[in-house]
Structure 1
Amino acid sequence: MANAARRKGGVRRHKGLIAIGTFAVLLILVIILWQWDWFIPLVDRQASAAIGRKVTIEHLHVRLGRVTRIIADDVKVAGTDQFPKSLATAQHLTVNVELLPLIRHRQIVLPLIDLDHPTIDAEAAHDGTNNWTTSDNSNSKADKPSSSPPLLGILRIEDGHVHVVDAKLKANFNIQVATTETPDPDIRPIPVDQGHIVANATGTYAGQPITGRFVGGAILSLRDKTRPYPIDLRVANGPTHVSLVGTIEQPLTFGGAKVKLLFAGPDMSLLYPLTGVPIPQTPAYKVAGNLDYSRERIAFREFTGQVGSSDLNGTITVVPAKIPTIDANLNSHNVDLEDLGGFIGADPGHGAKTPASTPKTPDAHPASTGDVLPNTPINMPKVRAANIHLVYKGDHIKNRSIPLDNIVARLNIENGVIDLKQLDFKVGTGTIFSSATLDPVGSSLKTRAHVDFHRIDLSRLLQATHTFHGQGIIGGRADITTRGSSFADMLGNGDGGISLVMSGGGDISALLPDIAGLEFGNALLSALGMPNRAQVQCFVMDMPLKNGILSTNSFLLQTTEARSIGRGTVDFKNQTLDYSLTTRSSHFSVGSLPGPINITGKLGKPAIRPGAEVVARAGAAAGLGVVLAPLALLPTIQFGVGETGACQSALEDMKTHPASPPMRNSATPPTRTKHRSH
């Protein structure tokens, strides 16, 4: 029995030794033959599922320890069927992982991420499809327990390269990326001020050459909430230059910024590809200010600058979205209206001159057409690209050829519809109030506009002629509903009208040739038999506009020398005149024949001649009374000039004696002294 027991024990020991030996051999074989590449399929599947794009690696190396190092060789992120080229590659990707925080707190700590020769090839087509948008195959965040974001340490990039091609943006540029002076990850504590990111870009963007340089702080500094992250970005896109220098507080959570933004160039409209903010053409500009963000709002605060010869300052706030919302509160102490020419279709900095300041050269209006209305399409920005709320105030208008003193504008753009709530100009003691709604339809604008002229000081207006003559007050209103792509189109298709009244003095020789821009002004005065220095006592005009044709309800011009009554039409479609003026002089003059003077032809080069019916219509009272309903205009006069005065006397005299010369003292302005005090 004892021998049998000993034999059984020996067998068990023998079997145990065999098992141990077998395990030891197997362990040695595993150690000798172990390949981390066996885990490549698992890693590929997990990475591909995470980003929704096929990921492959050639080799996998792991060095276990308290800080485990994982190295993946020849990493590739596949492209798409439309863009078959690989989206990203790296010769080597090295990641250090601290195990204790992962085991104890499920906190991922990556002391080192090392990318050797990484490349990214980003491509986008005209329709907006691209190769970098990936599917999100992860479960809803609501179904997953919350976890802390990874804590990043040193980022080391060696010879990185990014190539971007975007057909829609007309972009094709390269970015070289690297880190400088990266510290040893085994040194503790790791220096947070080493390992800056440097990126240099060259190529084209928006069809213009682009160069850029970015210098950012070390990635490790992102973990220090008390240490702002420094950035220095400088970009030149064609002639446009932008710099962004300062620090970002808590950039991972968008805690704030202290950044100085400066941009300069020959035209603000060129900023659209860089900012997404639509701006009409402007002259050369340079603007600098403080850029900040908080609560999902980007603010460009307390900026100052120069646009053409106008200064500009204020604050712009942007709420980023697919269609961003922009709030702008802007002010200019001194503004030249020519700098705003791009907003009305003129060349910025070379805007439409007033007739008094435009040199009367043969090229001013083509002799072949005689057209004077600008037919250049209004330069509309991409108004549907953003919703904009703008308030603009210009304290002082500096242009000696424009008789305006200041400007106030309030503008809203919502879903592409432009609502100009207020556009007011101060003219001496008076104001021009205007508002408009513009709805872009195709390439044209569906427009409704209204203008009120309230107590406009004639003496201030005449300063534009640089020949100061006379006193007086101008008032009235104008309305238009139309559709078109230029001012010529709009007037040619418009409905509405204009009513104006002027009460008080004024030199008719200055008013007609200079204010109205009538090159034939002096010839017209001669045809009417008026002396060059006749003083205007009253001017009344009431002309409706229908389908581009301006007709006459009332037209009265009374001076110290004569009374003129007008009738006829102005065709804005063809830019032609078909008008007649009949004058009754206070005294006999060879030129003051008792019949109409006809003005016909193109607006730019009309013909002036006596009517064939001069003799037949001499003294025809009925012909004058038909075109004038004087007392109906008294409310307009009252609103526009604040009193009836000289015009009321002139209208009553006209109603009583329609065919006779004006009474020499019937229209003497009783309030001239009062006007002069203004």
Structure 2
Amino acid sequence: MLNPRALDAIFLPKGAVFYNRPGRSNGMARQRILNRLLWIGFGLVGLLAAATLSSPLWLGPLAEHQASVALGRPVEIGRLRLRPGSPVLLTADDVLIGNPRDFPPGEAPFLRIPRVTLQLEAGTYLRRREIIIPSIEMDRPVAHVISMADERSNFGFELGADRSDGAAFPKIGAMRVSGGQARVSLAGLRAEFEVVVSTGDAAGPDGHAITAEARGTYADQPMAATLLAGGLPGLGGPSGAWPVELHLANGPTRAILKGTLQAPLNPRTAALGLLLAGPDLALLASLTGVPLPVTPPYELGGKLDYIEGRFHFTDVAGRIGRSDVEGMVTVTQGPIRPELTAELRSRSVDLRDIASLLVGGPGPPGTPGQTPRQQEHATQAQREANSSPRLLPDRPLNIPKLRGVDAYLTYHAERIQGRSMPFDDLTLRMDLVDGTVALRPLSFGVGAGRIAADILLTPREEDTVQAKSEVRFERLDFARLMHATGTYQGAGVLSGTARVEGTGGSIAEILGHGDGALLLSMTGGYLSKLLVDLAGLRLGSALLGSLGGEARTPVKCFVADLPLRRGILSTRALLLETDDVVIEGRGVVDLRRERVEIRLWTESKRLNFGALPLPLLVSGTLKAPSAAPDRTAGAGGGIAGAIAALPTIRFGIGDDPRCEGLLRRARRGQATGSDAPPRGESTGGGRR
């Protein structure tokens, strides 16, 4: 035990007088002892605080726990150092961010960083509960970004989601990366590539520039990408424009994205220009997640922005195949599948490009931008089409492959290319929903008239479609149709309707098994007299016409009433009446076999010489029909048959009363959509 006087010697200052009074002396001694112990305690607390700030053993585990809870995955920190100041400097060594807890064991961790140094505005957090990180420096970070076949991934974070305290995402200023690497493996996208990231000082107020290089494969195609960006203006707030420029090559597809972001983590602040070029728009599906049809080569540029879950591609200008394209495209992630809305137009369009979209092809040979493989494919397709005896397109339709997107398209082409093309312009509205295509309308201008079609294509099993179409021929300029032949002339106004219903995988199959009807009529106008004389085997009149006689003959009436049953188009009524003749046709067109057999009987309305008393037989294939006198309709064989087939003098039959009734019935059928003849009405099927 220490002597009380020894304690006084320790705690009392020299020269002090000690009064040895009962009670009072003991209380004063205790007070002095407590005061000295309090000062010693303050000193020890200060020393402990300094030691804590210089080597916070308690801060590392706390930071690991908080980060693990926030990220939903294990976080490990080897060493954590904190230097007081304004801002506070925090250095972490050997930081490891693991994979989600449901991820298979044995996979490399999501991120490993040998050293992270960041600045933290502690005062701002204490005053406003706002986290501001002026700068982050990462030394040699290595990331493993993985997406598995079952759609599980290790890069999905919900930072700031469902925060009960309402805290905002931290505001991050300059970010510096030295020797950053990433290994990316995305099973669903068939992608494997490596990324190298670094930052460096850049001239100007933006601070540090960012460079990222990626090499590998994407969608089983070789991929190379370069990202160049200015200094980050602040990941948490719009403190300035952040310039970005991305060059991407994925197989034969090229993309350049260039512009600015006001807030790098907010795509709604983007003002970007996008240039896309490649041999086939379908190859963009792996990059955009939106299924697109197989197309000819393209080059498209425009402005790209993002607003409320929608990507807008505006001021689009470029070409697809030989056709120019302008307009806008919007892509939205719908409740079931992506939705694409497009408003496009062309000054000049090649219908072969439209056909390529329908059947999924690279366009005709010589289309600009074709790859060698596409050139070979186009040449082979053209060679097969030229050598094939078939006329109707038999290539499978591309429509059943578009179930992965809903699309709404309006399109107008001001001019259709081709001197012999009878069509002037094209207007299209298409709705594609769950693989069902509705074209309402598909319209072609023909002079002052139009061909307008409403078409519905519904997918069926085995890549077939059920087709329903209603076509209206609205005052077609017959002169334009005849001009397309390049041989004969004609004029007038042609009107009518057509209806087809069928199922198949191609246009040829649909027509070859289809049901429907075709009604056409024309009054007034004229036809080439030579064509009429040859069709009626009026050799004498044809000879005079070729020597400088009358070049054309007025048309009084034309009626074609052709029902379609199981791919067989028959002639319920086929009649042409001019000032000189009445031509009646009977026969069938087999669309399944693409064979035609129609006989044309001609009767002169006036005196005529040199006319063969035989019908003209049009037969053969649709692609290459032939026309010749039908000798099987002669009066037997031998000398009598030969004499009966000699040119004769015909005295004429006068005006034909059938035309008015057939025309009235055809117009009634066009108005009602019926292909059945009215009860008690003559079909005009017999020869007079």
What is the TM-score normalised by the length of structure 2? 0.76
Q: Amino acid of the residue matched to residue 101 of structure 1?
A: T
* Structure 2: distance between partners of 1:401 and 1:511: 22
Correspondence for 1:193 among 192, 206, 209: 206
Counterpart in the other structure of 1:546:
565
Q: Does 1:392 align with 2:411?
A: yes
* Structure 1: distance between partners of 2:383 and 2:219: 39
Task: Write the deviation string for residues 444-494 of structure 1: whole angstroms up to 9, x where unpaired.
Answer: 222211111122222211222333523233222111122222112211232
Counterpart in the other structure of 2:64:
44
Distance 1:18 1:325, change over 3 A: same
1:328, distance to aligned residue in structure 2 (A): 2.0
SS of aligned partner of 1:350: coil
Task: Write the deviation string for residues 16-39 of structure 1: whole angstroms up to 9, x where unpaired.
Answer: 878987997798689779853444
Q: Does 1:487 align with 2:516?
A: no
Counterpart in the other structure of 2:247:
234
Q: Unmatched 5+ residue regions in structure 2?
A: 1-19, 366-378, 546-550, 645-657, 672-680
Q: Does 1:209 align with 2:239?
A: no
Task: Write the deviation string for residues 104-144 of structure 1: whole angstroms up to 9, x where unpaired.
Answer: 111111112111122222222344332323578x8844xx2
Q: Amino acid of the residue matched to residue 405 of structure 1?
A: D
SS of aligned partner of 2:233: helix
Correspondence for 2:661 among 627, 631, 653: 631
Q: Amino acid of the residue matched to residue 88 of structure 2?
A: T
Distance 1:68 1:566, change over 3 A: same
Distance 1:582 1:506, change over 3 A: closer
Q: Unmatched 5+ residue regions in structure 1?
A: 184-190, 352-357, 513-521, 620-627, 642-651, 661-678
* Structure 2: distance between partners of 1:498 and 1:82: 68
Q: Does 1:302 align with 2:315?
A: yes
Aligned-pair Cα RMSD in Å: 4.3
Counterpart in the other structure of 1:411:
430
Counterpart in the other structure of 2:131:
108
Q: Between the two structures, name the one with larger relative contact order (CA 8 Å, sep ≥ 6).
A: 1
Task: Write the deviation string for residues 36-71 of structure 1: whole angstroms up to 9, x where unpaired.
Answer: 344443332221221212222222222233322222
Which deviates more from structure 2 when the two are superposed, residues 482-491 or residues 241-250? 241-250
Q: Does 1:325 align with 2:339?
A: yes
Distance 1:491 1:115, change over 3 A: same
CA contact (8 A) 2:538 2:610 kept: no
1:511, distance to aligned residue in structure 2 (A): 10
* Structure 2: distance between partners of 1:11 and 1:47: 49
1:582, distance to aligned residue in structure 2 (A): 4.8
Correspondence for 2:363 among 349, 353, 368: 349
Task: Write the deviation string for residues 493-515 of structure 1: whole angstroms up to 9, x where unpaired.
Answer: 32212222344433488799xxx
Distance 1:396 1:607, change over 3 A: closer
Counterpart in the other structure of 1:314:
327
Counterpart in the other structure of 2:142:
119
Distance 1:35 1:249, change over 3 A: closer
Counterpart in the other structure of 2:108:
85
Which deviates more from structure 2 when the two are superposed, residues 324-333 or residues 21-30? 21-30
Counterpart in the other structure of 2:349:
335
1:569, distance to aligned residue in structure 2 (A): 3.5
1:526, distance to aligned residue in structure 2 (A): 7.2
Q: Amino acid of the residue matched to residue 331 of structure 1?
A: R
**Within 5 A, what are the aligned runs for 1:452-471?**
452-471=472-491
Distance 1:600 1:640, change over 3 A: same
Q: Does 1:437 align with 2:456?
A: yes
1:181, distance to aligned residue in structure 2 (A): 0.8
* Structure 2: distance between partners of 1:228 and 1:335: 40
1:573, distance to aligned residue in structure 2 (A): 3.3
Counterpart in the other structure of 1:158:
178
1:391, distance to aligned residue in structure 2 (A): 1.7
1:375, distance to aligned residue in structure 2 (A): 1.6
* Structure 2: distance between partners of 1:75 and 1:221: 23
CA contact (8 A) 1:53 1:134 kept: no
What is the TM-score normalised by the length of structure 1? 0.77
* Structure 1: distance between partners of 2:529 and 2:521: 15
Correspondence for 1:268 among 281, 300, 314: 281
Distance 1:238 1:501, change over 3 A: same
* Structure 2: distance between partners of 1:362 and 1:9: 118
* Structure 1: distance between partners of 2:452 and 2:50: 89
1:425, distance to aligned residue in structure 2 (A): 1.0
Distance 1:110 1:412, change over 3 A: same
* Structure 1: distance between partners of 2:439 and 2:517: 20
CA contact (8 A) 2:207 2:232 kept: no
Q: Amino acid of the residue matched to residue 168 of structure 1?
A: G
CA contact (8 A) 1:374 1:488 kept: yes
Distance 1:174 1:418, change over 3 A: same
Counterpart in the other structure of 1:249:
262
CA contact (8 A) 2:618 2:626 kept: no
Q: Amino acid of the residue matched to residue 156 of structure 1?
A: R
Q: How many matched pairs?
A: 609
Q: Amino acid of the residue matched to residue 572 of structure 2?
A: N
* Structure 1: distance between partners of 2:346 and 2:513: 35
Distance 1:16 1:311, change over 3 A: same
* Structure 2: distance between partners of 1:258 and 1:477: 50
* Structure 2: distance between partners of 1:490 and 1:528: 41
SS of aligned partner of 1:316: strand
Task: Write the deviation string for residues 302-334 of structure 1: whole angstroms up to 9, x where unpaired.
Answer: 232233332222222333446343332222122
SS of aligned partner of 2:491: coil
CA contact (8 A) 2:399 2:435 kept: no
Correspondence for 1:581 among 575, 578, 599: 599
CA contact (8 A) 2:567 2:592 kept: yes
* Structure 1: distance between partners of 2:65 and 2:539: 95
* Structure 2: distance between partners of 1:476 and 1:530: 31
Distance 1:424 1:569, change over 3 A: same
SS of aligned partner of 1:36: coil
Q: Amino acid of the residue matched to residue 521 of structure 2?
A: V
* Structure 2: distance between partners of 1:654 and 1:30: 110
CA contact (8 A) 1:501 1:640 kept: no
Which deviates more from structure 2 when the two are superposed, residues 430-439 or residues 540-549? 540-549
CA contact (8 A) 1:264 1:286 kept: yes
Counterpart in the other structure of 2:91:
71
* Structure 1: distance between partners of 2:96 and 2:587: 80
Task: Write the deviation string for residues 258-311 of structure 1: whole angstroms up to 9, x where unpaired.
Answer: 332222223333333223444433333322223334454433222322333322
Counterpart in the other structure of 2:589:
570
CA contact (8 A) 2:297 2:362 kept: no
* Structure 2: distance between partners of 1:609 and 1:470: 24
SS of aligned partner of 1:76: strand
Correspondence for 2:526 among 498, 505, 530: 505
1:638, distance to aligned residue in structure 2 (A): 8.4
Distance 1:529 1:610, change over 3 A: farther
Counterpart in the other structure of 1:147:
167
Give identity over the alignment, percent: 31
* Structure 2: distance between partners of 1:613 and 1:27: 125
Q: Amino acid of the residue matched to residue 452 of structure 1?
A: R
SS of aligned partner of 2:490: coil
CA contact (8 A) 2:537 2:611 kept: no
Counterpart in the other structure of 1:131:
154
SS of aligned partner of 1:315: strand
